[in-house]
Structure 1
């Protein structure tokens, strides 16, 4: 995260907030699964396999699979950095909007959460470099690892400020989860459409921001 400009950091924090918001809604509406935290879904699939049989593990495993598909789709996008990022965020906005509309029309259509997982996976490809995602936008584990490493750097004197950015990103995810849980309680099926509108706004912002620090993926 240290190589990202301040405008890029602001964009990342906003996306983290939206991701936490969407993940909380997905968690509530699926009854305990995640659309961005695939470690949790993997554990849940293993537990469900023994508790209720193979069929009950299909949904969490399906979310893992579609998350990976979303990452692959985002990574396959080519073109200038700003154009590629715009495509990814705009595509995620469309996917979330479709999921929200389907949820209003057919609340029992659980396949829509696979679409959400794919959208969240794609968002993690915004900062690709040397074949890896430089910033874990939609999941907290990688961010907390970065925070722990930065705290070690603080203790050893290698860096006094590296901890700030991962803490901010984790905070945005956590705050988004709080807002998302409240949004689901107050807005019900309309809450995801709010998230889609927010992602649409971010897509417009991405098209206007020039990010100099991270080169496009080869």
Structure 2
């Protein structure tokens, strides 16, 4: 029973972060000319497609990649600080992500209407969004390494399918197998829900739609640390 609060906290954290990644990635893709913010490797494919079909969306993807890299590097430097470990590091990285996501909202509002991928405020919006998700990607390794990945779902889905096959083949008595299915299922489910909600809310609220994951992240960051 003593471990139950930790299990619930891990479930809430992984689900919140998964929902945020799906939500922000979808909003960025819809609003910013196909930009992926949560998993920037997808932008490599889009940049490559520009070679075959040149358009005006390359610069924002290149800058977003650079912003992602810088955000990961900054997160690493924070983690290397002697005073920053455990829950303190988790809170610091979540607050940094909140600040960058808030900047993305404000830049997106200022950029309206978004019709030119190379407009300065549009570029700033993409940079801030990619930086916010760069922090989340880094935090997954630096501060939340006990959780399943919450930004790129390919590995999660692969592991989930493998485990489900093993379960159906008679591994039901394996507690570790069931625990791993539980661990990987909820971030995938939350990511999918976030993607759907992000699309629906963006249609009605434009970049103010990002207020929802922003509030969720802030709640996660300000929650009392585990005892």
User: Corresponding residue for 1:37?
Assistant: 39
Residues 136 and 156 from structure 1, CA distance in 2 versus in 1: closer, same or farther, beyond 3 angstroms? same
Q: 1:99 aligns with which of 101, 104, 116?
A: 104
Uncovered stretches (5+) of structure 2, i.e. residues with no partner: 1-5, 115-120
Quote the Cα distance in structure 1 between the aligned partners of 2:225 and 2:155: 25
Residues 43 and 201 from structure 1, CA distance in 2 versus in 1: closer, same or farther, beyond 3 angstroms? same
Q: Please list the CA deviations of residues 43-99 of structure 1 after superposition, one character each: whole Å capped at 9, or x if unmatched.
A: 11111122107x743322332332232222222223121111111111111111111
User: Corresponding residue for 1:76?
Assistant: 77
Is 1:46–1:57's contact at 8 Å kept on the other side of the alignment?
Answer: no
SS of the equivalent of 2:38 reads coil
Matched pairs, number: 204
Is 1:7–1:209's contact at 8 Å kept on the other side of the alignment?
Answer: no
Residues 68 and 156 from structure 1, CA distance in 2 versus in 1: closer, same or farther, beyond 3 angstroms? farther
**Runs of 4+ displaced beyond 6 Å:** none
Deviation at 1:203, TM superposition (A): 1.1
Quote the Cα distance in structure 1 between the aligned partners of 2:141 and 2:50: 34
Deviation at 1:204, TM superposition (A): 0.7
Quote the Cα distance in structure 1 between the aligned partners of 2:196 and 2:57: 28
Quote the Cα distance in structure 2 between the aligned partners of 1:96 and 1:141: 24
In the alignment, structure 1 residue 185 sits paired with structure 2 residue 190: no
SS of the equivalent of 1:110 reads helix
Deviation at 1:153, TM superposition (A): 4.4
Quote the Cα distance in structure 2 between the aligned partners of 1:135 and 1:49: 35
TM-score of the two chains, using structure 1 as the length reference: 0.81
Quote the Cα distance in structure 2 between the aligned partners of 1:194 and 1:17: 10
Bigger radius of gyration? 2
User: Corresponding residue for 1:176?
Assistant: 194
Q: Higher mean Cα deviation, 179-188 or 70-79?
A: 70-79
User: Corresponding residue for 1:151?
Assistant: 164
Residues 209 and 68 from structure 1, CA distance in 2 versus in 1: closer, same or farther, beyond 3 angstroms? same
Quote the Cα distance in structure 2 between the aligned partners of 1:94 and 1:153: 42
Deviation at 1:133, TM superposition (A): 8.6
In the alignment, structure 1 residue 124 sits paired with structure 2 residue 100: no
Deviation at 1:28, TM superposition (A): 0.8
SS of the equivalent of 2:138 reads coil
Is 1:49–1:57's contact at 8 Å kept on the other side of the alignment?
Answer: no
Residues 102 and 59 from structure 1, CA distance in 2 versus in 1: closer, same or farther, beyond 3 angstroms? closer
